[in-house]
Structure 1
Amino acid sequence: MLVNKDRFKVDDTLSEYPKEVKFKYNWRKYQQRVLDNLENHLKDGHLHIIAPPGSGKTVLGLEVAVRLNKPTLILTPTIAIRNQWIQRFCELFLQTDQIPDWISKDIRKPKFMTVVTYQGLHAACNDLKIEEEDLEEEDEVEESAKSKHTNANLEKIVSGLNAQKIKTIVVDEAHHLKNEWWQTLTKVKEKINPVIVGLTATPPYDVSPIEWQRYIELNGLVDMEISVPELVIEGDLCPHQDYVYFTMPTEKEHQDITNFRDNIEMLFQEIKNDETVIQAIETHPIWKNPEEQLDWIYSNFSYYSSSLIFLKANHREIPETHLEVIGDKKIIIPVLDYEWTEKLLEFYLFSGNEHFKEYEEHRKTLENRLRRYGAIERKQIDFLYSKKVTGFLASSISKLNGIKEIVDFEYNQLGKDLRMVILSDFIRKEYFVSSSENNLELNRLGVIPIFEKLRRENTANKKIGVLTGSLIIIPNSAYNDFETRAAKCGITKINSSIVPFDSDYVLINQTEQLTHNIVHIVTQIFQSGGIEVLIGTKSLLGEGWDAPAINSLILASFVGSFVLSNQMRGRAIRTQNGNSNKTGNIWHLVTIDETSPTGGDDFDLLKRRFKSFVGVSFHEQPGIENGIGRLNLGENIREKEEAEKKNIEMFKYAGDRENLKELWEKALETGVTLVEELKIPFREEKEYKALKSMYLNKTLANLLATLGSGLASFGLEMIQEFLKVARRIRSMRDLYFFLTFFGIVGVLFFGRQTLKALRLYFKYRDISKDIKKIGEALLDSLIKARIIQTNYSALEVITSVDDWGGVYCHLEGGTTFEKSTFINSLKEIIGNVENPRYIIVRKNRFMFFKEQRDYHSVPEVIGRNKKLAEHFKTQWKAFVDNCDLIFTRTIEGRKLLLQSRIKSLAAQFDEKAQRINKWK
């Protein structure tokens, strides 16, 4: 029950939290563990907690601040999250609906508790006139911090904080900062010397060691990291699953996308034969005198390659001098495609100013044409990706039908128990009319168009509501409940009216009295069932909002940061007191682009986002992992039939919530912790085990297994045929004829893949057999570099193979950052060679006569130092095999680097190594 704010009305000289401040609920298990060991955690002056969205980090941070019992500064990445901290504190600790006088949102006027954004702190320390209230999204804010500032007003801000005796600073998601914000925050910390409470759901494990060190210096070493599966085990998060619903663009959207593709193809064909570009490239020194331009060529090889490919496409003979520069006289020059044309144009338009000055007018004209066609964005040329096409897909009207299908499906499953939230980017108020009928065509995606789509086709009488910062609609049936709850908050007058085009709904107008309570009141109505489907904006409901009753969530669009999308998911996966059977369905809408080989930008974006979503898989043996692969969607979905088939499959899974709980129970039994590992995939239609038991992974062993199996099968058939015709062999000539005939049939039988297997086998050594050995050499080198500081005896390189032939490798023991750095470095070693300072040339002899070579990057964290690189070479020789270490920043080194890019074993295979998180 909320109490009167006067109970906590104190003057500005407050030096400790009022004794009545107390968290109103019981603590979760992990929270209690942190609090029980708080004294030990704080010995270094820091508390650093990593936990997923929905785990209760905010209330834990507030409790720690209360227990430290000193004036507090809380820093957040956005306004919505800032407001969430204040709202949670008032509701859950003060049990009041009003903000006390001793809480401030203004860093220039600090009080006992001051809650501001990082941007607000930076702006104040530099005396910038940036109003925090204007900054709603962290992505929008970042642009405002581009210019350099000197923190000229920092002393004044620090003086104000010191006057309030601020000794606790809580930093929420602190790594989402620009460099200048880091600098400001670090200086404030140095001058105040506070206790730091660091909380995050997304630690920056993929940054450089220097950036990680900066992050650790602010937050302190990680005191506790808890994962989604652990919280499900503890009963803090409910069993949940992500589902994908595919839609196809409308006819107009499809036509617009097709027009874009057609225009780009027409432009490509014109550029392909552009005589001016041909002349410009032919007069460039890299074409005329490549031997004199070696340093430039090896430093800009993609530009050089695109020039050769372009000229070859225009029937120019490539002189042998160029093949010598490449280092492979037998190389086949690729066909000119979009990607190579993009590189060529980048060279011609933006990077070759010195030599292309006389073509300035042509370059400008061509650049303008590319811009008109939507093929240039910030000097990045892309013929496949376009903001225009991305916009068509992200905001496709077809998603309105998808949303209705999902809502109807979920309502059929749960009926009156449905508590669904639909989040969109925009309100689109223009679709709310004041006339008695609303027959506007719904041709844009947003909160009101979604409301209208569901309202107009609401045959089941679902209770639908809208909650945004400026527009609130509730069912008429819930209005009495609204009045009752408002009265409890001391609100006696409500400015409301019937929705002009539908008497079943009421429009609530914002008043000064309602402003602070409206979200809370509507949320309570939703929780109790007065609203079953609530539609809102991500800025209001995505972050600073909590409604444990949610059991279905639709993310209608993807605009915004990765962090935000994960936080939005967190709304639906929290457990609900008194509802032990709760499960959460999270729906992602994707519009397919049939003209894209990958299914389009919408699908590609979802694949990237799923890397940060951990959940249960739909594999035959359920497991818990991240990535889109756990949903068994297939690589690329392009056809309407495929999309519809997957939608039916998704509904089948989503309708069986009991099975979802069982999947989680089975999957949780398979492990004890979430492990980050490197996966080298094996791409096969059939199940790996059914293919051959001798397979080890998708490298040479697989190819050779296929080859050996084929040879055995073909050999058996050959013997059988030989026995049949043996009686007809009268001479050596007949025997030669027989062998020649079956030899030709054999080549045809094995085909291209077998020949590739043979060629690769004779050329390279198997990576997979050595993956553990490579991991051991890497581990020793990372310890030598003091990047990994855990004792060697507590560490182990673990490798395994799954049922589909994928090879996995991870580091057991050590800190999370050390494990992540190990995975990053291993990925560099076995991935495609890019542009490392050093490369390892691996050498081995096959059957004592054929030397095999392969090329591997020396990881950046080791290659930055010559002594460390040489130590890595020594460890490679000790653990793996003979090798050479090549420094690539010389002419000869660059030439070898070029060869390694072309010839490395990793480049021979389609699928790349992937970083994954898996419950083991």
Structure 2
Amino acid sequence: MMTFPVGIKFKYGWRKYQARVLKELDNYLSNGSLHVVAPPGSGKTVLGLEVMLRLNRPTLILAPSLAIRDQWIDRFCELFLQVNRKPEWISCDVRRPAFMTVCTYQGLHAACNNLDDDEEGTIAKKGVMLTPRKIANELKSLGVKTVILDEAHHLKNEWWNTLDWLKRQLSPTIVGLTATPPYDVTIAEWQRYIELNGTVDTEITVPELILEGDLCPHQDYVYFSLPSPEEYDRINAFRADIDKLFREIKEDPVFVEAISTTPVWVDPLSHLEWIFGNMSFYSAMLIFMHGVGKEVLPVHFEVIGSKTVRVPPLDYAWMEVLLDFYLHGDKAFFPGREEHQEALENKLARRGATERKQINFRYNSRLMKTLTASVSKLNSIAEIVRFESSRLEDRLRLVILTDYIRKEYMTSTAVNDMPLDRMGVFSVFEKLRREKIGEGQIGILTGSVVIVPVAALSVLEGSVRDTGLDKVSTRPLPYDAAYVEIGLSGALKDEITRIVTRVFEAGAIRILIGTKSLLGEGWDAPCINTLVLASFVGSFVSSNQMRGRAIRVEKGNDEKTGNIWHLVCVDSTSPTGGDDLELLRRRFRGFIGIPSRADGTIENGVRRLDIPASLCDRETIDRKNDDTLKEAASRDSLRRRWENGLKQGVNLVEEIKVPFGEEREYRPLKRLYLRHTLAYLFAEIAFAASIFWNGLWEAIIRGQFRHLRTSSDWWLALLTVSVVGFCTFGYKGIKAFRLYLKYRDISKDVRQIGVALLDTLAGERIVTTDRNLLSVQTFNDGSGAVYCHLQGGSTYEKSVFINAMQEIIGPVDNPRYVMIRESVLWHHFKQEDFHAVPEVLGRKKSSAESFKWNWEKKVGPCRLVFTRTLEGRKFLLHCRMNSLATRLSDDVERVNIWR
């Protein structure tokens, strides 16, 4: 069998984006791969199956979990073959492949390495011992030439190696499908992901699918809590001990002597090459010595290239850099210090300031877990469920996903009053049950334990019969007769997820608590209208997959909306709000949604939720939570906000955001600086005049004007009071003028820089789309931030442009070439700014010079400096300390906005 049976066809019509991809399929496959990015619930599985049919060759499909593996087979049988039983030419065992083989990444790795796979029970059979070569040969003999990769970013390192090896053996057409590209990984990991899946051919966004009616309007909400008293004690103890450790190291005479006697510090001019190659370490030494009260000799400022630079204060971040150099750097710099280095490293480890040789005074995994798994989140869940139950009543279909089962909270006694001090399925169940929230409506669905209300038994038993199974066995909960545990054995264990899902859809269970591993991916229940994410283990990828459970449309329910609740425990001892809030901010970079503001634009990031800058006290948190509940109560308003937001654009654009370094509004502030400059200049004159006339009047009154006999005497008096006035007001005038120069309207600069970059990329054939079809778009928002993106071109070209712009406008790091931008205001005031030549243009001198030529043409005068010489390295250090980007208070960031 080398082709699919004739007549296999999808039973429904195609969605717009699916039809578009299929129409352009031949073009996409010209490079041997198709890579589609689309949100959960958009129909990627069905699209992948249709591509498989059109390629019409033996196929291997790889999925991240058993649930998703089974979903591929179920979808194909139901929507294409329209049969109830899997045909013999479909296999779930890669050791016994067939024309169409569907397995998990874990199963493939286990098969190729002769491992028993506990998850992949169908392949862990004794006597089947195949080498990777034999498995590859078996697939080759079947003619496998299509490999579909579903969410190929969940992979462990060893799984990557297995898959990469197999790809080289088969040389197949790759079809990569994902809802969540791993944006939060390193550059190397991203490159590995792209090499496996191919470059992204098309990306379907959430707004497009809502506009087409393929996803429902939804909103992310955050419910905040503060740590429990016991958790606070642990946090405060850690902070106090770290601060004490920081002071101990500052006052450690051996450490101070080691730094002060290192050759780099004693004779920097003889070690310039090392310094310019290790500038962060050198800077940390300078800051440390200044921080412990040691004199920083002028020669060090000479090395930096600035005699007026202000040495930053010694803080945790700089101490971490210096300790990393002392403990893990070149041992030749610290001869005879081995014993002290070992003792200090052990001390850091004991105090929780280092993990896996990474020194960090601000982050600690135990502290992180205290926040992410805080028991205060149980109270948050109770408040959310109580609120949503009161609003939706019998329409409520609420799912709570967490990481662990915590079966220890399921006692065999008549009373269950165990303290709830750990987050998990059973602790959530007990919290709701004890507080009588959702009485008789709560269910538990995990791989090993299933509990349903007695009131739902008749519906469950009917579903069991419909599946063709025998009557289910039950056991009452010892401490609550309103609930029963379902006995899991035989065929029922394989079908229980589908059965309980039907009970949930019917409304016999309205609140379902489960694990992320079982229900977070691949589980289909379009009726969900409220999702509580009580999971704290995993990446942005798994978070977005879980969100996908609540945004699917439901047939027959055109009014469906989805409320998605995130839980955050705030650390008031941290200036950023703590690691849990920081984790939320990172994850939200990949979540597209509608802002809380009625007039806001659809965008990614946490900014759209209007979270207060400071959440350090109970009153502020309670006020924010109350506002969030009020917003969540108005689902009709949510639908209208999406409708209004969608009217403001036509597609989702990836841009760079250049921030404005003040919180006040940009344009009024800019005018204010110029106004203050002139005001201070006039103030000097007014001051001098007022003092003069006042002094003159007093002199006349007192008869002391007799000392001013000539015109020279009068002018000398005026000059004296003028000098006093300048000392008072002149410095302020100069400072205000500098601020005006600093915050000149940079939006025009950003656009012109973008045009110069685009012209260079096109000239160097890095961007190959016709230049006439491309344009640079820039926008200002009310706060003065500037947004910039490339209009037109492929996804790859847009990504290259954004990456390059981010390098140019961001802080200067370690580029091969630096551009010095020179600007003059009013023919007198000169200013220099420093920008990196992006890596894509800095590899060749000719490309860098081409960029310089375009810069001079579009932006203005500039100079190009090569940084891989000694003088260049010195200049690079100077650039780092004086670049415009380092004076902006926020980082240049990538954002996605519906425009």
Distance 1:456 1:176 in 2: 37
Contact 1:764–1:854 under 8 Å retained in 2: no
1:488-567 alignment runs, 5 A limit: 488-567=466-545
Tell me how far 1:787 sits from its aligned partner: 2.6
Q: Deviations over 1:818-837 (max 9, x none)?
A: 11221111011111111112
Tell me how far 1:120 sits from its aligned partner: 4.0
Tell me how far 1:77 sits from its aligned partner: 3.5
Q: Does 1:129 align with 2:95?
A: no
Residue of 696, 704, 710 corresponding to 2:676: 710
Distance change >3 Å, CA 473–CA 49, structure 1 → 2: same
Match of 2:893 in 1: 914
Q: Deviations over 1:513-552 (max 9, x none)?
A: 1122100011111111111111111110100201000111
1:455-854 alignment runs, 5 A limit: 455-459=433-437, 461=439, 463-619=441-597, 621-682=599-660, 684-688=662-666, 692=668, 703=670, 705-711=671-677, 728=694, 730=696, 732=715, 735=718, 739=722, 743=726, 746=729, 756-759=735-738, 767-854=746-833
Using structure 1 for the length normalisation, give the TM-score: 0.89
Aligned to 1:612, the other structure's residue is in SS state coil
**Residue type matched to 2:857 in 1?**
A
1:218-237 alignment runs, 5 A limit: 219=197, 222-237=200-215
**Residue type matched to 1:63 in 2?**
E
**Residue type matched to 1:345 in 2?**
L
Distance 1:85 1:681 in 2: 45
Comparing 94-103 with 903-912, which one deviates more in the overlay? 94-103
Distance 1:390 1:206 in 2: 18
Distance 1:266 1:533 in 2: 47
Residue of 20, 41, 50 corresponding to 1:54: 41
Comparing 598-607 with 458-467, which one deviates more in the overlay? 458-467
**Residue type matched to 1:552 in 2?**
T
Tell me how far 1:793 sits from its aligned partner: 1.0
Q: Give the percent of matched residue pairs that are identical in Structure 1 and Structure 2.
A: 51
Q: Deviations over 1:823-877 (max 9, x none)?
A: 1110111111111121112223444455421111111122122222222122222
Match of 2:868 in 1: 889
Q: Deviations over 1:206-253 (max 9, x none)?
A: 999999887667656655432111100100001111011100000000
Distance 1:154 1:128 in 2: 9
Contact 1:836–1:888 under 8 Å retained in 2: yes
Match of 1:147 in 2: none
Distance change >3 Å, CA 458–CA 195, structure 1 → 2: same
Distance change >3 Å, CA 649–CA 685, structure 1 → 2: farther
Distance change >3 Å, CA 52–CA 787, structure 1 → 2: farther
Match of 1:82 in 2: 69
Tell me how far 1:587 sits from its aligned partner: 0.6
**Residue type matched to 2:313 in 1?**
V
Distance 2:414 2:830 in 1: 83
Q: CA RMSD in A?
A: 3.0
Distance 1:42 1:642 in 2: 54
**Residue type matched to 1:770 in 2?**
D
Match of 2:835 in 1: 856
Match of 2:60 in 1: 73
Distance change >3 Å, CA 196–CA 570, structure 1 → 2: same
Contact 1:209–1:787 under 8 Å retained in 2: no
Distance 1:218 1:241 in 2: 33
Q: Does 1:111 align with 2:109?
A: no
Match of 1:346 in 2: 324
Distance 1:431 1:57 in 2: 39
Match of 1:402 in 2: 380
Residue of 364, 380, 397 corresponding to 1:419: 397
Q: Does 1:329 align with 2:307?
A: yes
Residue of 868, 875, 882 corresponding to 1:903: 882
Comparing 17-26 with 815-824, which one deviates more in the overlay? 17-26
Match of 2:127 in 1: none
Tell me how far 1:68 sits from its aligned partner: 4.1
Tell me how far 1:737 sits from its aligned partner: 6.7
Contact 1:79–1:132 under 8 Å retained in 2: no
Comparing 250-259 with 367-376, which one deviates more in the overlay? 367-376
Tell me how far 1:128 sits from its aligned partner: 4.8
Contact 1:573–1:583 under 8 Å retained in 2: yes
**Residue type matched to 1:281 in 2?**
I
Distance change >3 Å, CA 118–CA 872, structure 1 → 2: farther
Distance change >3 Å, CA 831–CA 33, structure 1 → 2: closer
Comparing 807-816 with 488-497, which one deviates more in the overlay? 488-497
Aligned to 1:354, the other structure's residue is in SS state helix
Match of 1:4 in 2: none
Tell me how far 1:316 sits from its aligned partner: 2.0
Contact 1:394–1:602 under 8 Å retained in 2: yes
Tell me how far 1:734 sits from its aligned partner: 6.6
Distance 1:895 1:766 in 2: 30
Tell me how far 1:73 sits from its aligned partner: 0.7
Aligned to 2:452, the other structure's residue is in SS state strand
**Residue type matched to 2:306 in 1?**
D
Unpaired segments of 5 or more residues in structure 2? 122-129, 697-713
Comparing 715-724 with 503-512, which one deviates more in the overlay? 715-724
Contact 1:625–1:917 under 8 Å retained in 2: yes
Tell me how far 1:328 sits from its aligned partner: 1.6
Match of 1:142 in 2: none
Distance change >3 Å, CA 741–CA 661, structure 1 → 2: farther
Distance 2:291 2:87 in 1: 73
Aligned to 2:480, the other structure's residue is in SS state coil
Comparing 820-829 with 586-595, which one deviates more in the overlay? 820-829
Distance change >3 Å, CA 99–CA 449, structure 1 → 2: farther
Distance change >3 Å, CA 709–CA 760, structure 1 → 2: closer
Tell me how far 1:706 sits from its aligned partner: 2.3
Q: Deviations over 1:689-740 (max 9, x none)?
A: xx62xxxxxxxxx54x221233466678899999999975745567557656
Aligned to 1:709, the other structure's residue is in SS state helix
Aligned to 2:831, the other structure's residue is in SS state strand
Comparing 68-77 with 170-179, which one deviates more in the overlay? 170-179
Distance 1:472 1:546 in 2: 18
Match of 1:695 in 2: none
Q: Does 1:387 align with 2:381?
A: no
**Residue type matched to 1:200 in 2?**
T
Contact 1:763–1:852 under 8 Å retained in 2: no
Match of 1:146 in 2: none
Unpaired segments of 5 or more residues in structure 1? 1-13, 136-151, 693-701
Distance 1:30 1:620 in 2: 28
Match of 2:263 in 1: 285
Tell me how far 1:672 sits from its aligned partner: 0.5
Distance 1:916 1:871 in 2: 29
Contact 2:385–2:437 under 8 Å retained in 1: no
Q: Deviations over 1:352-408 (max 9, x none)?
A: 322324121221111111111111011111111111110100000000000000111
Q: Deviations over 1:159-197 (max 9, x none)?
A: 211333323321223456578766654564455454432
Distance change >3 Å, CA 51–CA 459, structure 1 → 2: closer
Aligned to 2:321, the other structure's residue is in SS state helix
